[in-house]
Amino acid sequence: MLSATTNGRMAVASRRSVEVNSPTNEISPHILAGFLSKHSLPAAFEASARRFYEPLARRLPSLRRTEFPLLLGVNGAQGTGKSTLADFLAMAVAELFDWRSAVLSIDDFYLPRDERLQLAQTVHPLFATRGVPGTHDTELIQTTLDELTSLGTGHSAVLPRFDKAVDDRAPKDEWPSVTGPLDLIVLEGWCVGSSAETEAALAEPANVLERDEDAEMRWRGYANERLRERYEPIFSGLDALVFLAAPSFEAILRWRIEQEHKLAQKAADPGSRVMSDDEVARFVRFYERITRHNLIDIPTRADVVFTLGEDHGVTEARYR
């Protein structure tokens, strides 16, 4: 269990009891079938969800030690299924405990495009590409979590959205809303719960991108500094952290290339923008340093670790 709490969780008292309704026997097949259809998941996912994800959902009330909503972090690299897991848990606790949830992706908190371009001009050109710490609006993450934590009965709050198609924040009138009080808040993302590295670790380039385009360490140094100063205080407020552990970074790269190949096959427009294998490899290098560090570091700290096989499927669950 992670120790600290966010400012909002310390300052605002909730009036809602933490009593848990008697759970149903299981998530109904009808509800689960609807979930599979909504997320375009294969039928084989049902058995895995029953074996690994539903037991986690049943444990969540035991992790909720106060009257505040349970704040759960989900970390996983690209292609590990973290957004699917987050949505599954929200569906499951609604079915099992009649809980209300809000699911947040750290991808929806990217800085607006003009602010990232300004960062690219003043700090390092690589910051024009969204992804690493320093390219998110950490103040918005914190204020959103605080607002959701203290959301009273009948009160509503909006959830930020980022439009990747235009590489900019979606208009605020398009952000969805949730109504309180909430029982569960899930924050998922590839760097949720990540920790900063030492200066000595930064000195060795993780790949050719860092070697050739960040020789002076300004890009990775700034990202590491922001992770330590702006992100870690937010992550310290998590009540629990779940990690989807890919078998290796090489598997993550392969999955991302396979995903792009599938997109190319489905593209109705021959002119649709699909990345080549080399472009995918370059894109993934932006995430490589922190992803490799996560594969080593987070399993030692996470409350739940789901080990993934080469085929993306969960092979083992470990609880702390």
pLDDT of residue 271: 54
pLDDT of residue 4: 36
pLDDT of residue 262: 81
1 part of a folded domain? no
Count of domains observed in the chain: 1
2 part of a folded domain? no
Arithmetic mean of pLDDT over the chain: 91
pLDDT of residue 192: 98
Peptide bond into 133 cis (omega under 30): no
pLDDT of residue 268: 56
138 part of a folded domain? yes
Whose structure tokens read 């570091």?
Answer: 297
CATH classification of the domain holding 277: 3.40.50.300
pLDDT of residue 272: 58
pLDDT of residue 66: 80
315 part of a folded domain? yes
188 part of a folded domain? yes
pTM of the full predicted structure? Answer: 0.90
pLDDT of residue 260: 87
151 part of a folded domain? yes
27 part of a folded domain? yes
pLDDT of residue 248: 97
- Residues in the chain where the model's pLDDT stays below 70: 1-25, 267-272
pLDDT of residue 3: 37
Half-sphere exposure of 225 (CA within 13 A, CB side): 7
Look up the domain containing 53 and give its range.
Answer: 7-319
204 part of a folded domain? yes
